[in-house]
Chain A
Amino acid sequence: MTIKSWMKSALAVGALMTLTTGAYADGMLRYATVGEPPSLDQQVITSDLATTIAHHMFEGLYTFNGANAPVPLLASGETVSEDGKTIVISLREGVQFHNGQAMTSADVLASLQRWGEFGSRGSLIFDHVESVEASGEYEITLNLKEPFGPWKNLMAFINGGPAIYPASVATGATKEPISPENYIGTGPYKFNAWEANRYIELVRFDDYASPDGEADGYGGARVADFDTLRFIPVSDVGTRIAGVRAGDYDYAESIPGDLFAELDADAGVKTMLNGGPIFGLVFLNSSDGPLKENFALRRAIQTAIDKKPALQVAIGPEGLWRANGSFAPEGSVWNTPEGTENFSKGDAEAAKAMAAEAGYDGEPIKFMVSTNYPFHYDSAIVYTKQLAQAGFNIDLQVYDWATLIEKRAQPDQWDLFFTHHGFVPDPILISVMNDNYPGWWATPEKKALKDRFTASSDPAERQAIWAELQALIYEQVPTMKTGDVYTYNIASPKLKGLGEQTLIWPSFWNVSK
């Protein structure tokens, strides 16, 4: 073969490779994720990315409608005894698992038992459960020690929640996440493959038994239009955006705020705001160090900080953040102004005087933050400057997230740390309500209010008690909310059925292209 003919062949191959059309048919949705989740086991993993993928294949007894109210999913209804202590849940019949097995109360019982013992949020409800039993082939009975108001909200929250697995999977499972070969659920898509570092793939479950009724939020009918959902880790945000613009991805998550105006004006992509905002939290150490039980000093720190400049620096466009001191966003039934007058004072002089009165003598206050989340770090830089102006000696310690997670579990390693929280439909799910969460806020005042809050089933009464709890948070300052952040994703304009906003996690049943 001559050099000339080699060159001709090379050009021909090059042209062929260039002109070959995309390998994927329209039956596949390609979703560019920020990374890979640690597991898809919904009972023990609270990663939002895990739920974004897994809620297409795992379902719970309840889910949330468009107004964030719990509605039946695998359940068909329930009756609650007059004293509020016996809850009988009836199950939908004809529901199949992805392995072809019919779902019965035995599966639900095994799943609830595993979740109650090992689930990330299971103890929140199971601390109040006397027993749970399969009272019929399609009926489950929860016997409570005392009335527990938020039970249905907790059942409906699939993230770290009671996903229903076959009894063969749930029985014997522990805190360690179940392995991919056991990803067997009842959802409209079933697990197909997890190619490490490449993609996680779900395929349509043809025998899916959809709930009845018009689609509303995550409730109502679910129709799987795509043959395949492929979740591809694309860590660089520029590549995620270029990929949607080039048509290589249909959806890309976690786009920075400073690109919002440009992308919103781009006809080649559709911006999708997440309806439930996330919010930053700076936890204060209630177990060790200078802030332990010194509520006056904590209030001095709270008084020194002005949240708006940090939100402007860290998030950008004003449409993407709210300097909202309520732990629930505007429009939520849990939104309350109680205590929020102390949310963002930014008064350095007053803070200095309060700190002196609280006995602060300039000892270093260790503030841990991670660069893995730019908005944590940017906000922490602003706060550190504001606190220094108020006379606080802040020792800013910057770590990667894995190191921060390890250090925050050790009470002697920190005084403040920055984290963030996803939207939750019930305040009982906010991490500061968990006595064991790093920060370890467990005062008698909190316990008294929390007990009343969980014992009540009356919505109005619960809202009133939550207002008292929020006021207590601003008084004892176990954590400082930094404001609401409305994250957004981008989608191909070809996708139909996405709606205007994402409820909590993007969902792709009832979506097509």
Chain B
Amino acid sequence: MLAYTAKRLLTLIPTLLAATILVFLFVHLIPGDPAAILLGDTATPEEVAQLSAELGFDRPLWIQYFLWLGNVLQGDLGTSIFFREPVTAVIGSGAETSILLASMTMVWIIILGLPIGVLSATKHGTWIDQITSSGAMLAASVPTFWLGLYLIMIFSVTLGWFPSSGFPSLSDEGGITNLRYLILPSLTLAAPNAALIVRLVRASMLDVAREDHVRTARAKGLHPARVAIKHVFRNALIAVAAAFGFTFAALISEAVVTETVFSLPGIGRLVVQSILRRDYPVIQGVILVIVVLYMVINLLVDLAYARLDPRVSLK
């Protein structure tokens, strides 16, 4: 296991290097000059060029890349052109929201997705299965911006139960109770993902239920619930565990719409705003962090496979 992990970590290096080149090129090939945006409408071309030079954007691209890479290797992602703060601090500020949002969403996915998926599989072909499957299809189909706005209208404007938007940090006034700002966004984000987990659990359990060892368990006279949980559900979890890993990574990077609707200061909205502002260091930093996150989660999922399924060997 250790040798495998070390080998996998080593293969991450060239992948990461390729990713940094792609990210850097992609960011710098977009038209638009951060200096022009910063100085506004009345700046002359000379003033824009001067500020651009002060920010170091007049150097050849490859020199800019290696300077950036050198700093990244020392843990310095640069300074945000827009916020004039270290990129790590800007990302850190968004990371709190994104990680909490993704974690709460995962909680909803587990609370809703797993039991409903098990219910749907164990009641396969009945009216319960029909209702849960249809509900899952509906949840997967509803656009998140629409669902988010309706949840705001019902639970914030009409009932006044939850805040409509924003998220003060847990270190701000309110402390842990500020998590209530994330209830509606996490429900919004959970709906399509929980629906997918419902479908996945149902399909995996139905697959496993057809296997010989399940038939043997039933033939031994075990209670149907025990068969469903211990023999079917546990084996079906192998496929579901991989889905959970990638869902968590996706929730960090793909929550743009939800973060926009609920005005959450997360990483998804940060990267979109930074692209509009051409804040190169932040765009590069965020994408790099997301790439690393995906790689690490990919590795963890592979390692988890081996733990969950002894038939899988790590070579």
Interface set of A (CB-CB < 8 Å, partner B): 16-18, 20, 22-24, 32, 35-36, 38-39, 44-47, 120-121, 160, 175-177, 179-180, 194-198, 232-236, 238-239, 242-243, 245-248, 372, 399-403, 405-407, 409, 419, 431, 434, 436-437
Provide the bound-state CA to CA distance between A194 and B84, in Å.
Answer: 11
Do the beta carbons of A242 and B177 come within 8 Å of each other?
A: no
Do the beta carbons of A242 and B165 come within 8 Å of each other?
A: yes
Do the beta carbons of A23 and B173 come within 8 Å of each other?
A: yes
> Is B168 positioned at the interface, with any CB of A under 8 Å from its CB?
yes
Provide the bound-state CA to CA distance between A245 and B263, in Å.
Answer: 16
Provide the bound-state CA to CA distance between A176 and B218, in Å.
Answer: 76
CB-defined contacts of B32 to chain A, threshold 8 Å:
400, 402-403, 405-406
Do the beta carbons of A120 and B43 come within 8 Å of each other?
A: yes
Given contacts A179-B84, A195-B93, A233-B263, contact A20 B177 (CB under 8 A): yes
Do the beta carbons of B163 and A246 come within 8 Å of each other?
A: yes
CB-defined contacts of A246 to chain B, threshold 8 Å:
152, 156-157, 160, 163-164
Across the interface, A238 reaches (CB within 8 A) one of B172, B261, B277, namely: B261
CB-defined contacts of A35 to chain B, threshold 8 Å:
273
Provide the bound-state CA to CA distance between A270 and B224, in Å.
Answer: 62
| Number of chain B residues whose Cβ lies closer than 8 Å to a Cβ of chain A | 62
Do the beta carbons of A196 and B38 come within 8 Å of each other?
A: no
> Is B313 positioned at the interface, with any CB of A under 8 Å from its CB?
no
A-B pairs with lowest CB-CB distance, top 7:
A402-B32, A23-B174, A197-B265, A17-B180, A234-B263, A120-B42, A403-B31
Do the beta carbons of B162 and A402 come within 8 Å of each other?
A: no
Across the interface, A23 reaches (CB within 8 A) one of B44, B89, B172, B277, namely: B172
Do the beta carbons of B172 and A400 come within 8 Å of each other?
A: no
Provide the bound-state CA to CA distance between A434 and B276, in Å.
Answer: 27
Minimum CB distance partner of B40 in chain A? A46
Across the interface, B42 reaches (CB within 8 A) one of A17, A238, A437, namely: A437
CB-defined contacts of B82 to chain A, threshold 8 Å:
36, 38
Provide the bound-state CA to CA distance between A195 and B30, in Å.
Answer: 27
Do the beta carbons of B277 and A197 come within 8 Å of each other?
A: no
Do the beta carbons of B93 and A198 come within 8 Å of each other?
A: yes
Provide the bound-state CA to CA distance between A400 and B276, in Å.
Answer: 8
Minimum CB distance partner of A20 in chain B? B177
> Is B248 positioned at the interface, with any CB of A under 8 Å from its CB?
no
With A196-B89, A403-B31 given, name 10 new contacts (CB 8 A).
A18-B180, A38-B82, A38-B277, A176-B51, A176-B54, A195-B93, A235-B260, A243-B166, A401-B276, A406-B36
CB-defined contacts of B169 to chain A, threshold 8 Å:
195, 198
Interface residues of B in 148-166 (CB under 8 A from A): 149, 152-153, 156-157, 160-166
Do the beta carbons of A248 and B41 come within 8 Å of each other?
A: no
Provide the bound-state CA to CA distance between A198 and B183, in Å.
Answer: 18
Do the beta carbons of B164 and A248 come within 8 Å of each other?
A: yes
Do the beta carbons of A121 and B180 come within 8 Å of each other?
A: no
Given contacts A242-B152, A406-B33, contact A232 B42 (CB under 8 A): no
Q: How far is the CB of A132 from chain B (nearest CB, A)?
A: 21
Interface set of B (CB-CB < 8 Å, partner A): 30-33, 36-45, 47-48, 50-51, 54, 80, 82-85, 89-90, 93-94, 149, 152-153, 156-157, 160-169, 172-174, 177-180, 183, 260-263, 265, 269-270, 273, 276-278
Do the beta carbons of A248 and B90 come within 8 Å of each other?
A: no
Do the beta carbons of A436 and B44 come within 8 Å of each other?
A: yes
Do the beta carbons of A23 and B40 come within 8 Å of each other?
A: no
CB-defined contacts of A245 to chain B, threshold 8 Å:
157
Provide the bound-state CA to CA distance between A486 and B186, in Å.
Answer: 37
CB-defined contacts of A196 to chain B, threshold 8 Å:
80, 83, 85, 89-90, 93-94, 265, 270
**Can you report 8 A-B residue pairs in the complex whose CB atoms are below 8 A from each other?**
A120-B43, A196-B83, A196-B265, A238-B152, A246-B160, A248-B165, A402-B278, A437-B41
Q: How far is the CB of A22 from chain B (nearest CB, A)?
A: 8
Do the beta carbons of B152 and A23 come within 8 Å of each other?
A: no
Given contacts A20-B177, A239-B263, contact A197 B269 (CB under 8 A): yes
Q: How far is the CB of B194 from chain A (nearest CB, A)?
A: 17
CB-defined contacts of B269 to chain A, threshold 8 Å:
197, 235
Given contacts A20-B177, A46-B42, A400-B32, contact A232 B161 (CB under 8 A): no
Given contacts A20-B177, A195-B93, A405-B36, contact A239 B85 (CB under 8 A): no
Do the beta carbons of A20 and B180 come within 8 Å of each other?
A: yes
Q: How far is the CB of B130 from chain A (nearest CB, A)?
A: 28
Q: How far is the CB of B180 from chain A (nearest CB, A)?
A: 4
Do the beta carbons of A121 and B278 come within 8 Å of each other?
A: no
Provide the bound-state CA to CA distance between A198 and B43, in Å.
Answer: 28
Do the beta carbons of B83 and A160 come within 8 Å of each other?
A: no
Do the beta carbons of A236 and B50 come within 8 Å of each other?
A: no
Across the interface, B273 reaches (CB within 8 A) one of A22, A177, A197, A242, namely: A197
Do the beta carbons of B36 and A18 come within 8 Å of each other?
A: no
Do the beta carbons of A177 and B38 come within 8 Å of each other?
A: yes
Provide the bound-state CA to CA distance between A409 and B37, in Å.
Answer: 12
Minimum CB distance partner of A411 in chain B? B45
Q: How far is the CB of B283 from chain A (nearest CB, A)?
A: 12
Provide the bound-state CA to CA distance between A358 and B290, in Å.
Answer: 56
Minimum CB distance partner of B278 in chain A? A402
Minimum CB distance partner of A401 in chain B? B276
Minimum CB distance partner of B263 in chain A? A234
Minimum CB distance partner of A243 in chain B? B164
Provide the bound-state CA to CA distance between A329 and B122, in Å.
Answer: 71
Minimum CB distance partner of B90 in chain A? A196
Provide the bound-state CA to CA distance between A266 and B90, in Å.
Answer: 39
Q: How far is the CB of B26 from chain A (nearest CB, A)?
A: 15
Across the interface, A407 reaches (CB within 8 A) one of B31, B50, B180, B273, namely: B31
Q: How far is the CB of A239 from chain B (nearest CB, A)?
A: 5
Across the interface, A236 reaches (CB within 8 A) one of B85, B173, B261, B277, namely: B261
Provide the bound-state CA to CA distance between A248 and B160, in Å.
Answer: 10
Do the beta carbons of B183 and A38 come within 8 Å of each other?
A: no
Provide the bound-state CA to CA distance between A35 and B30, in Å.
Answer: 21
Interface centre among A38, A39, A44, A197 (most CB of B within 10 A): A197
CB-defined contacts of A47 to chain B, threshold 8 Å:
40
Do the beta carbons of A242 and B84 come within 8 Å of each other?
A: no
Q: How far is the CB of A169 from chain B (nearest CB, A)?
A: 15
Given contacts A197-B270, A234-B165, contact A239 B261 (CB under 8 A): yes
Do the beta carbons of B263 and A409 come within 8 Å of each other?
A: no
Given contacts A38-B82, A196-B83, contact A175 B33 (CB under 8 A): no
Provide the bound-state CA to CA distance between A436 and B41, in Å.
Answer: 11
Provide the bound-state CA to CA distance between A196 and B285, in Å.
Answer: 15
Do the beta carbons of B263 and A232 come within 8 Å of each other?
A: yes
CB-defined contacts of A46 to chain B, threshold 8 Å:
40-42
Do the beta carbons of B156 and A242 come within 8 Å of each other?
A: yes
Given contacts A18-B180, A175-B47, contact A23 B262 (CB under 8 A): no
Q: How far is the CB of B147 from chain A (nearest CB, A)?
A: 13
Provide the bound-state CA to CA distance between A99 and B270, in Å.
Answer: 32
Interface centre among B33, B36, B41, B94 (most CB of A within 10 A): B41
